[in-house]
Amino acid sequence: MPRPDDQKAFLLLLAAVTILFGWVLLPLFSAVLWGTVIALLFAPLFRRLRRAMGGRANLAALATLGIIVATVIVPLALIGAALTQEALELYNRIKSGELNIGQFFQQARDAAPSWVEGLLQRFGLTSFDAVQERISGGLLAGSQAIATQAFSIGQTTFDFLLNLFVMLYLLFFLLRDGDKLSARIREAVPLRPDRRRALIAKFVTVTRATVKGGMLVALAQGALGGLIFWVLGIGAPVLWAVVMAFVSLLPGIGAAVVWLPVAIYLLATGAVWQGVTLILFGALVIGLVDNFLRPYLIGKDTKMPDYVVLISTLGGIASFGLNGFVIGPVIAALFMAAWGIYTTARKNGEGAAG
């Protein structure tokens, strides 16, 4: 048995080197995070390919990596390039005055029935010009931010390529050696076997459900929204598709906060068939994707209320940027699982360390 002083010194050393290792990896945090997330998501595919290839793990990992690049990395790069181009064009059109947001609002106001004006006054929205100015300023600022980010990405191409290389390089080994790594992590976690299994299973389940369910549903809704915008001739369809995909990530909000105001504007300005088409397509196609696709992809695996998912996603994005889309719900799930284990132990009279 080690002496208590030796045990304390070793635990202190263990904590110190762990913190230092995390500090070393901090500049590559996004690459490590998304490499781990994608490995968890594509691990079942890797295992099927490994069985089909006679247990050759290297070949199966390379094949899985090729599929990931072809189906995930390349499409996202193409979408990012199109988004950057449309954002720059939108910013230049607004800044030059070619796209007059105020004129659009004035057309909608003139075409609106008199009861709409009375309704706005009842809710205290009498200063329509101020609202118009705020929204116009918000659109200009938003497009400017995207344009600035585009220039920033161009200036930091080396950093982007380095993170992409690290993610793909790490992803290969996480796929190939994932089973061994997970076994070593389970052995290293200083918890009772049943609690260790519960927490690790919750982590894997929530990570897969968040990415597989939330992101795929968001991509589907964004793609459908961008498609109908393109068909109806609405400007910057890729930009609006990305916006709809982003808001679709948030439970209880959805893409309707984008396409519904556009449909109302179309109706108010006399484009009746375009407005009606957008409403029907949004309600019957885009809206139903969430109702049918999300339960199929996620099911009841997360077992978290929608409000917990919403606030943890928003809080995660606010704290960690895009990475918080995964980090927030995972932390919330582990929080609920840990307190559930503690409550059960208290009821059974085991104590917190039981």
> Lowest-confidence range among 73-77, 266-270, 291-295?
291-295
- pLDDT tens for 147-158 read 555 555 544 566
In degrees rounded to 5, what are phi and psi of residue 54? Answer: 70, 30
The 3-state DSSP class for residue 286 equals helix
In the chain, the largest separation of any two C-alpha atoms, in whole Å, equals 85
4 located within any domain: no
Give the domain-ending residue among 171, 202, 234.
171
Return the sign of the alpha-carbon dihedral for residues 292, 298, 301, 304.
Answer: negative
DSSP 54: T
- pLDDT tens for 85-129 read 777 777 676 666 665 555 555 555 565 555 555 655 665 555 545
Return the sign of the alpha-carbon dihedral for residues 256, 244, 44, 21.
Answer: negative
Same domain, 137 and 109: yes
- pLDDT tens for 195-208 read 777 777 777 777 77
90 and 143 Cβ atoms separated by less than 8 Å:
yes
261 and 272 Cβ atoms separated by less than 8 Å:
no
pTM for the whole thing? 0.69
pLDDT of 50:
92
Helix ranges (DSSP H) in 53-73: 57-68
Same domain, 43 and 163: yes
What does the mean pLDDT of the chain come to?
A: 76
Tokens 């009498």 locate to: 126
Structural domains of the chain, count: 2
Which range, 25-39, 235-249, 280-294, has the best average confidence (pLDDT)? 25-39
Structural domain including 326 reads 191-349
pLDDT band (50, 70, 90) for residue 139: low
Same domain, 71 and 197: no
Among 261, 253, 262, 257, CA closest to 230:
262
- Does 138 have pLDDT greater than 60? no
36 located within any domain: yes
Same domain, 204 and 312: yes
